[in-house]
Amino acid sequence: MKKPLILVTNDDGITAPGIKALVDVVKEFGNVVIVAPDSPQSGMGHAITVNNTLHIDKISEDNAEITEYTTSGTPADCVKIAKNEIIKEKINLCVSGINHGANSSINVIYSGTMSAAIEAGIEGIPSIGFSLCDFSWKADFEQIKPFVRKIIKEVLQHGLPEGVILNVNFPKLKKEEIKGIKICRQAKAKYSEKFDKRQSPFGKEYYWLAGEFVCEDKGEDTDEWALSNGYISVVPVQFDLTAHHAIQQLNNWNLNEKN
């Protein structure tokens, strides 16, 4: 049987240890094409390049086991250009990450890692975003490789529901300390933000975004609870942002009544 074609991308950039760890796993399952940003794109969300040119550079040899490209664009750009310009056959799976740092709860909105996976989902490609709760460039990804392998195997075997992408987050624990995998909902959480106002030597004011992460959700079925209690969280997310439960309430408004 023909091996599945797997697209690998991220938001930490082509040189990040996280993407190298992910490639080590996915190459066991199929033919791998990497299309990743040429520089870090964390917090980029679902931004795309529309007011600038977009460049692609192939950095692997023609006879290399894995085909590798960098782009000057965002994580979402990487998926768009991979599907439309680089890869001429059907992509069976897209995996994004492994991100250096959590993308649980509200972080999914800001995450370039997850936006790349969501962009693939929009294109009808089964996709998964992987993140480790460790921002260090020297994070130990060996501990989570067996779980990455297990999740990828299940997705390739069973597929995903239409329009659904998996947001997978790993706690910063040793392999033997991880209690298991939990299917969760996204916790209600946000950042309590402030701006640190400073002044340059030339008298120009500038700001650093600061603050702290606040989880307002006490439920034990959330991604934040799972991660805090030694579990891997798997949240099925979707790109349909419609608040279906609010439609009936809004239909009761007098929006079509003449003034």
One digit per residue, the tens of pLDDT, for the chain of length 259 reads 689 999 999 999 999 999 999 999 999 999 999 999 999 888 888 999 999 999 999 998 887 889 999 999 999 999 999 999 999 899 999 999 999 999 999 999 999 999 999 999 999 999 999 999 999 999 999 999 999 999 999 999 999 999 999 999 999 999 999 999 999 999 998 877 788 889 999 989 988 887 788 888 899 999 999 999 999 999 999 999 999 999 999 999 988 887 7
Nearest one of 93, 156, 168, 100 to 130, comparing CA atoms: 168
Contact present, 130 and 170 (Cβ < 8 Å): yes
Nearest one of 51, 46, 37, 23 to 82, comparing CA atoms: 37
Q: Quick check: pTM over 0.95?
A: no
Dist. CA 90–CA 70, nearest whole Å? 20
Write phi, then psi, for 193 (nearest 5 degrees).
-100, 155
Q: How many Cα atoms occupy the beta-carbon half-sphere of 98 within 13 Å?
A: 33
Dist. CA 126–CA 155, nearest whole Å? 8
CATH fold of 5-188+219-251: Stationary-phase Survival Protein Sure Homolog; Chain: A, (3.40.1210)
Contact present, 223 and 104 (Cβ < 8 Å): yes
* ∠ CA 218-223-229, rounded to 5°: 75
Tokens 């909902």, residue?
A: 185
Dist. CA 233–CA 170, nearest whole Å? 7
| Two tokens, residue 42 | 């964390």
Dist. CA 229–CA 173, nearest whole Å? 11
